[in-house]
Amino acid sequence: MCGRPGTDRPGAPVPTVVLGITGSVAAYRAADLARDLMRAGFTVRACLTEGAQEFVQPALFEALTGQPVLQSAFDEPEPGRMAHIDWARQADLLLIAPATAHTLNRLAAGIADDMLTTIALVYDGPVVVAPAMNPSMLAHPATQASLQTLQERGVVVVDPVGGLVACGEEGQGKLAANETILQTALAAAQQGKALEGQRVLITSGPTQEAIDDVRYLSNRSSGRMGAALAQAALMQGAEVTVVTGPTAVSLPGRARVIRVKSALEMQAVVLAEAPTTHWVVGAAAVADYRPVQRLSGKRRRDGDRWMLELEPNPDIIASVAAMAPEAMRIAFAAESGEDLDYVRQKAARKGVHAIAMNDVSQPGIGFESEFNALSLITPAGVEQSGHLPKLGCAQWLWARLLAHHHEGGLRAGLAREVVD
């Protein structure tokens, strides 16, 4: 699923991506992105907005790609031809990186007042946008509404990441890593129908277990992996429902989203949804314990020790088996260290068909990261995804699960494999 697009067989056509570059300080990174796309097998055609040309020059992209560069609504590389029509008709993917708030808002409104937005209005294939802007601009209701509108139309959004932005402020707004954008582009270009007609239920994010009206127990899960799994399933034609705990991560606009807080709330929703679902993927980082007693109001600090009594939360994915025995059940395990035998035993207790484990003790992957590395345990054995952006991991995971399912090897489940 994450290989070179259009190069699976000799003589396969080389796919074309229109790379839209807008007026963000991050525009300089588009040069490396263009080279990455070419290495991945794309023909790259760059289109620079007027603002982008304040940061990077069209000649740079013409030299890098070997293709003409569009920079004005009146450009005609071929006399007598309408470039915005030709480029839109010939493209296999439209990728806008970086995408400014100005461009996103125009795309959402259907405004076509420059070459890039005109191409976008004509183009009817997969679209990926990678926003980059000041955190306040990203958080503005107009920008958020535009992102939601674009996602509802099927546009894939590569979330910006947190950090220090060009203006010196700290927050979410930095352009995502080029590798993340590349993997998202590859995924969008390779959309298929392997899950068409199937309903997929995904749990995502952390849960919050209230101690009193102010404090709660939770964990560092960002919900990025669950969002990536949802996006990858949508790309394969699935009807997706995401049950998510509290998280700020953007979820695909075409997914049905149900928001909860506690593990008990999540379990109630999952058990209600599971009987009509084909796949249940438990990617949420559900709190293992909750306070026995929730205090009313806010407990005041009095200088004494505060002993909390905790009780176990239900195992949500394990509870699905009784309600939806025909559904394929996939668990996730965030472990410190790679104890595969323990993970197999965990899978047996849960009664799942497969389990994906990631080692959260490894730097740079897992919680709060754009990247992950999964070990997938199925009745056939153990497979490794390698270090990938989370969408790449999600695509790899769905590809392996579907391959095993089609071969008939997934239905037996891990409980039988481990117990027998």
For 262-291, write each residue's pLDDT tens digit: 999 999 999 999 999 999 999 999 999 999
Q: What is the pLDDT of residues 320-359, one digit of tens each?
A: 998 999 999 999 999 887 788 899 999 999 999 999 999 8
Residue 415, both tokens: 């409980």
Residue type, 152: E
Residue 22: half-sphere exposure toward Cβ, Cα within 13 Å? 23
Q: What is the pLDDT of residues 28-59, one digit of tens each?
A: 999 999 999 999 999 999 999 999 999 999 99
Structural contact between residues 6 and 12, judged by C-beta atoms closer than 8 angstroms: yes
Q: Which residues contact 83 (CB under 8 A, 6 or more apart)?
A: 70, 75, 76, 77, 115
Residue type, 263: A
Residue 28, both tokens: 């300089």
Instruction: Flag whether pLDDT at 9 surpasses 50.
Output: no
In terms of C-beta density within 10 A (0-12 exposed, 13-18 middle, 19 or more buried), how is residue 307 classed?
exposed
pLDDT at 420: 38
Residue 413: half-sphere exposure toward Cβ, Cα within 13 Å? 21
Among 109-123, 232-246, 378-392, 399-413, which stretch is predicted with the lowest mean pLDDT? Answer: 399-413
Structural contact between residues 18 and 54, judged by C-beta atoms closer than 8 angstroms: no
Among 267, 260, 233, CA closest to 244: 260
Among 195, 228, 175, CA closest to 2: 228
Q: Return d(Cα 145, Cα 131) in angstroms, integer.
A: 14
Structural contact between residues 95 and 18, judged by C-beta atoms closer than 8 angstroms: yes
167 part of the active site? yes
Residue 52, both tokens: 């982008």
* Residue with token string 């405004």: 111
Q: Which of 2, 47, 167, 393 is catalytic?
A: 167
Among 28, 81, 22, CA closest to 47: 22
Q: Mean pLDDT for the chain?
A: 90
Structural contact between residues 380 and 409, judged by C-beta atoms closer than 8 angstroms: yes
Residue type, 83: A
Residue 83, both tokens: 């470039």
Q: Return d(Cα 138, Cα 209) in angstroms, integer.
A: 29
> Which of the given ranges, 155-159, 365-369, 415-419, has the highest pLDDT on average?
155-159
Instruction: Flag whether pLDDT at 200 surpasses 70.
Output: yes
pLDDT at 417: 47
**Domains of the chain, each with CATH number or no CATH:** 16-189 (3.40.50.1950), 199-296+303-419 (3.40.50.10300)
The residue-averaged pLDDT of 69-98 equals 85
In terms of C-beta density within 10 A (0-12 exposed, 13-18 middle, 19 or more buried), how is residue 51 classed?
middle
pLDDT at 77: 67
